[in-house]
Structure 1
Amino acid sequence: MALLEIRDVTVRYGGHVALREVTLGVEAGRVTGLIGPNGAGKTTLFNVLTGLLTPGAGRVLLDGEDVTRLAPYRRARRGMARTFQILELFGQLTALENVALATRLRRRTAAGERPDPGALLERVGLSAFADRRADTLPTGLGRRLELARALAVRPRVLLLDEPASGQDPDETAAFADLLGELADEGLAILLVEHDMTLVMRVCAHLYVLDFGTLMAEGDPASVRADPRVREAYLGTSTGTDPGTGTAGAGTLAR
């Protein structure tokens, strides 16, 4: 059973339908990918999941509980955390202070403990930057700081919006390993990402949006081979494999 679900969600902006009767699930213990061409509705879907946007129809369920009308902070308290496509950091605070602030938003454990900010920075590879102001960090490091801050609230569900943007290939490979570890620890992870090599490596299941409609879903190999997906990404049902991260992969970004 999925830990996080949306069922038959529709979002309209005036006469424009941003999402049309979309249903998907995110299971604990694995990385689920959400991909699609520019303007497909992926960020809109994230905003519905986290409570920044209320759908015109449909429901959001967290561990079987209907949270469609809950405020974002109430969803966070129930174990939902996210990162953003455009970095949302406290720029004048240090990396360590950004994470420490997030730990205060999470209730203490039964043992009275909160996560260790320094340990979280170490986990995402930012120990050397603990005393750097967040607004001085390169984008790739800022992405990892956002991840550390999200982990500070001890989430059950982690929503990642293009987290590898700004990272070089070695950093992305290390990031993929980290996502695998987090999933193995039981986290339910939903990943929106333009780097198809990363997506195909870490995701156990993929959903594909196109013009607000769920076009395809399945394991990465079957989605990659789907002619409709190839058409949406590459403008052709043949040609370069969208899973290689080479020609045409840039069209998968948003």
Structure 2
Amino acid sequence: MVRGRTTAPAGLVLGHEITGEVIETGPDEYVLVPYADWNLLRFPDRDQALEKIMDLTMLSDILPTGFHGAVTAGVDSGIDAVGFEARGHGHGAQEAPATVLNSLMDLTTAGGSVGIPGLYVTGDPGAADEAARKGSLSLSLGTGWAKSLSFTTGQCPVMKYNRQLMMAILHDRIQIAKAVNAKAISLDDAPRGYAEFDAGAATKYVLDQRRHPTQQGCRRCHARG
């Protein structure tokens, strides 16, 4: 479900990048997503939106997720937006999915909160150890209890935040694309983008159909918009 690595139990309601059902239809630059129109966000001005389209693209994932973590964590807080793929430092470092959560419990002020929009799963065949494959992590829960910390977990309710975040972008209150080093790449460059991101590149890659290398002079691509 996440890069072909995780699974999902039957009957589980999923969100984030693993929501619902995707049906491939023809060439790989097009997919059909049933019922994808229920959470559309209308931009007030088309030209203004196009000028800030890279920032507005972040409304689909990174911006509302981080914002949700900050809102749910509060003031004296810590936010885990890393999730089950957290790793140690240095070359060849192994995955340590509980590292961020345990570090946050150490760092957060007593009586504070920890927001956890980072993705954690109930089944991960690609995990480093048997416990993590079942979603069981070695949490220092005693630390959290002793410091009277509160925790908020789960999927980000994007529709709760997307309009106010859109307006913040359009009124130059937020420059999220610059903050996360967003970069537009073509569909043909997608494998390279995924590989670099998995290797730790500090870049948010955005697939841009307009950058398709065969569009120039290609009647088929022009006909498809």
> Greater relative contact order (Cα 8 A, min sep 6): structure 1 or 2?
1
TM-score by length of 2: 0.26
Structure whose alpha-carbon radius of gyration is higher: 2
What is the TM-score of this pair, normalised by structure 1? 0.24
